[in-house]
Amino acid sequence: MIWQIIIRLFNKLSLINAYNGIGIFFIILIAGTLGYSFFESETMGNGLWWSIVTMTTVGYGDLFPKTPQGRVLAVFVMSTGIGILGAITASFAGFILEKRLMEIKGMKQLNLNNHFLIIGWNFRGNDIVEELQADKKCKGKDIAIIADLQESPAQEKNRVFFVSGEPNSNTLEKACAAKAQAAIILTNELSDPYSRDAKSILSCLTLKKHHPDIYTSVEIYDQKNAQQCQFAGADEIILSGGLSTNLLVQSVLDHGVTKCVHELLSNRKGQEIYKIGLLKDFENKTFAQVLSECKKNYNILVIGIESQNMKSIITNPSSDTIVKNGDKLIIIAEDRPEW
C-alpha cells in the first residue's frame, strides 16, 4: 500500500516538473526570439529560428549574434535551454519507466474486455499461456494473471498482463474480471496437497461470488476435494495428477497411444480437439450422416455431441442418434473450423 502511494506521488511530481519545464522552455524561447530580433534587428521568424537552434545546441551557424547584447542573450539561451530540455526529457522518461514498473509489479488498473483470466501460478502457467495463444479462438485476445507474486511471471509475452495479490474484490476489479470470457484457477505447487486445494476452492468461491457468470475451470490435486470445488461454483474441475496417471497406465497397456493423446491436447502441433457449433444443414440428421459429411466435405472427424442443455457430452454416440438444433459437435481437426 505504501509503495503504491509513493509511486503515485512520484508520477504526479514527475508530470508537474515536466509541465513546469515546458512552460519555462516556451518562456525562454519567446524571450530569445524577441531579444534576438531586437538586438540584431532581425525578423521575428529569424529570431524564432535562431532561438530553437541555439536552445537545442544544434548551431547551424546561419544566424549568430554580432552585438554584445545579442551575445549575452545567446549565452543565457544556450545555458538554460539545454538544461530545461534535459529536465523535460528526464521527467517524461521517468514517468514512462514508472508506468512500466507498475505493470511489471502488477499495480496498474487494467483495461481489458473479453479476455482470459488466470488466477494463481505454477510451473504449468507459461505452457497454459502459450496453448491459449496458439488457438485461433484466442487470436487477438488478452490474458490477465492474478497471482501473489512480486513481479509478472510472463513479462516477455505479448498481450499478457499481471495483477499482484490474492484474488479479492480489488484485484478482480483491476484485472477486469467482470468482462473476462473465462477463468482458469491453478493450484499452488509449493503448498501441501490439502492447502493447495483449499486455496483453489477459496479462489473459485471468491471469483464466483463477485462474478457468478464467468465460466471457470479449476485445477485441484485430490479427487476427494472435487465435490467442495463444485459447491464453490466451478464449471469444470481438472485433476492435476489424474491425467498423467491415466496416461502412464495407458502407455504400458497400449504402447505409443499417449503420443496421439499429447498431439490432440496441444494447440501448437498436429490435430486438435475442438467444440464447435452446428451447421444448419446438419440439424435433425443422424450422427452417422453428420460424421460422413464432415469427414467427406471438411476432413473433420466427429467424435461426440454436447446436448443443447450443456448437461452431458456423448462420446461416440450410436449411429442413429439425432443431432438437434443447439447441439455442439466435439471434433478432431487440424484447425478450428470457421463456419
Most confident of 55-64, 91-100, 241-250: 55-64
**Shared domain check, 166 and 97:** no
**Shared domain check, 136 and 227:** yes
What's 291's domain CATH number? Answer: 3.30.70.1450
Residue 244 forms part of a structural domain: no
- 313-315 and 236-239: which strand pairing? unpaired
Residue 255 forms part of a structural domain: no
**Shared domain check, 300 and 320:** yes
Residue 110 forms part of a structural domain: no
In order of 18, 106, 147, 203, 209, the CA distances from 171 in angstroms are 31, 9, 9, 12, 14
**Shared domain check, 223 and 149:** yes
pLDDT in tens, 203-261: 999 999 999 999 999 999 888 898 999 999 999 998 886 667 777 777 778 888 888 88
Residue 270 backbone zone (phi > 0: left; psi -120 to 50: alpha; other: beta): left
> Average pLDDT for residues 315-339, to the nearest whole number?
90
Sign of CA dihedral 6, 8, 14, 17: negative
Residue 253 forms part of a structural domain: no
CA distance 104 to 151: 5
Residue 74 forms part of a structural domain: yes
Q: What pLDDT does residue 146 have?
A: 97
Find how far residue 33's CA is from the centre of its chain.
Answer: 49
**Shared domain check, 44 and 145:** no
What's 18's domain CATH number? Answer: 1.10.287.70
Structural domains in the chain (count):
3
Residue 321 forms part of a structural domain: yes
This prediction has a pTM of 0.65
Residue 88 C-alpha cell reads as 523535460
Among candidates 108, 116, 223, which has minimal Cα distance to 159?
Answer: 116
Residue 224 has phi, psi (to 5 degrees) of: -65, -20
> Which residues does residue 162 pair with via DSSP β-bridges, in sequence order?
145
Residue 258 forms part of a structural domain: no
pLDDT in tens, 18-36: 667 777 788 888 988 999 8
The count of residues in the chain is: 339
Residue 187 C-alpha cell reads as 493450484
Residue 311 C-alpha cell reads as 448437461
CA distance 225 to 6: 42
Using DSSP's 3-state secondary structure scheme, residue 303 falls into strand
The domain in which residue 285 lies consists of 271-339
Residue 259 forms part of a structural domain: no
Residue 300 C-alpha cell reads as 473433420
Choosing from 53, 75, 105, the residue where a domain stops is 105
Residue 59 C-alpha cell reads as 548551431
**Shared domain check, 150 and 91:** no
